[in-house]
Amino acid sequence: MERICINPACGAIVSDAVCADCPECGTELLYGGRFILRRALREVTPMQGIAVYEADDRQQAQACILKVLLYPQAPYLRHFEQEAALLANLSHPGLPQVDIDDGGYFTVTTTAKQYPRLDCFAMEKIAGITLAAWLSRGETLLQAQAIDWLEQLSGILSALHQEQIFHRDIKPSNIMLQPDGRLVLIDFGSVRAVTDTYLNKLGEKRSRFDGVTIFNSAGYTPYEQTQGRAVMQSDFFALAHTFIHLLTGIHPMHLEPDDRGVIQWRSHSPQVSAPFADLLDQMGALMPHDRPANIAAIQAAIAKLPAQIKADRWRRSPWLKVAKGVGIAILVGGLLKGTAWYLSTRYLKSGLQMALEGNYREAQGQLESALMYDLNNPALHSNLATICQQQRTEAGDKCAIQHYQRAILLNPSNSVTRYNFASFYGDIGEFVQAEAQYKRLLEDTPGFVDARNNLARLYLLEGQYKAAEGALNLASTQVQDDLSKSAILKNVGWLRYEQKQYGAAIKALNAAIKLAPEARTDAYCLLAKALDSQSDQGESTEAWQRCLSGDTTAPEVKQWQGEKLNQVLPVKGNPN
Which pLDDT score, from 0 to 100, does residue 568 have?
A: 63
Pick the range with the lowest mean pLDDT from 247-256, 296-305, 337-346, 552-561.
337-346
Pick the range with the lowest mean pLDDT from 213-217, 263-267, 345-349, 520-524.
213-217
Which pLDDT score, from 0 to 100, does residue 314 have?
A: 65
Confidence band for 536, pLDDT divided at 50, 70 and 90: low
Which pLDDT score, from 0 to 100, does residue 73 have?
A: 79
Most confident by average pLDDT, 124-128, 161-165, 552-556: 124-128
Which pLDDT score, from 0 to 100, does residue 426 have?
A: 83
Q: What is the tens place of the pLDDT at every residue in 282-341?
A: 999 888 888 898 989 999 999 999 888 877 776 665 545 545 555 544 444 444 445 676
Confidence band for 90, pLDDT divided at 50, 70 and 90: confident
Residues facing 36 on adjacent strands: 56
Q: What is the tens place of the pLDDT at every residue in 366-415?
A: 999 988 888 888 888 988 998 998 888 889 999 999 999 999 999 888 88
Cα–Cα distance, 561 to 548 (Å, whole number): 6
Which pLDDT score, from 0 to 100, does residue 493 have?
A: 94
Cα–Cα distance, 537 to 548 (Å, whole number): 16
- Mean pLDDT across 153-160: 90
Tell me where in the chain the CATH 3.30.200.20 domain(s) lie: 3-123
Confidence band for 175, pLDDT divided at 50, 70 and 90: very high
CA-to-CA dists, residue 236 to 108, 135, 290, angstroms: 38, 20, 11
Calculate what percentage of the chain has a pLDDT beyond 70. Answer: 86
Domain 3-123: CATH superfamily is Phosphorylase Kinase; domain 1 (3.30.200.20)
Confidence band for 15, pLDDT divided at 50, 70 and 90: confident
Cα–Cα distance, 449 to 486 (Å, whole number): 12
Q: Identify residue 542 by its one-letter amino acid code.
A: E
Which pLDDT score, from 0 to 100, does residue 238 have?
A: 92
Cα–Cα distance, 166 to 230 (Å, whole number): 9
Confidence band for 91, pLDDT divided at 50, 70 and 90: confident
Confidence band for 182, pLDDT divided at 50, 70 and 90: very high
According to DSSP, the β-strands at 175-177 and 117-123 are unpaired
Cα–Cα distance, 308 to 321 (Å, whole number): 17
| Residue 142: closest CA among 279, 246, 274, 266 | 246
Which pLDDT score, from 0 to 100, does residue 299 have?
A: 93
Which string of DSSP letters, residue by residue, matches 234-288?
HHHHHHHHHHHHHHHSS-GGGSPB-TTS-B--GGG-TTS-HHHHHHHHHHT-SSG
Confidence band for 501, pLDDT divided at 50, 70 and 90: very high
pTM of the model: 0.53
Q: Which residue has the higher pLDDT, 550 or 458?
A: 458
| Residue 150: closest CA among 131, 129, 169, 123 | 131
Tell me where in the chain the CATH 1.10.510.10 domain(s) lie: 129-312
The yes/no answer on whether domain 129-312 falls in CATH 3.30.450.20 is no
Q: Which residue has the higher pLDDT, 575 or 536?
A: 536
Which string of DSSP letters, residue by residue, matches 475-513?
HHTT--SHHHHHHHHHHHHHHHHHTT-HHHHHHHHHHHH
Confidence band for 147, pLDDT divided at 50, 70 and 90: very high
Does residue 212 surpass a pLDDT of 90? no
- Mean pLDDT across 50-72: 88
Most confident by average pLDDT, 120-124, 336-340, 358-362: 120-124
- Mean pLDDT across 449-456: 89
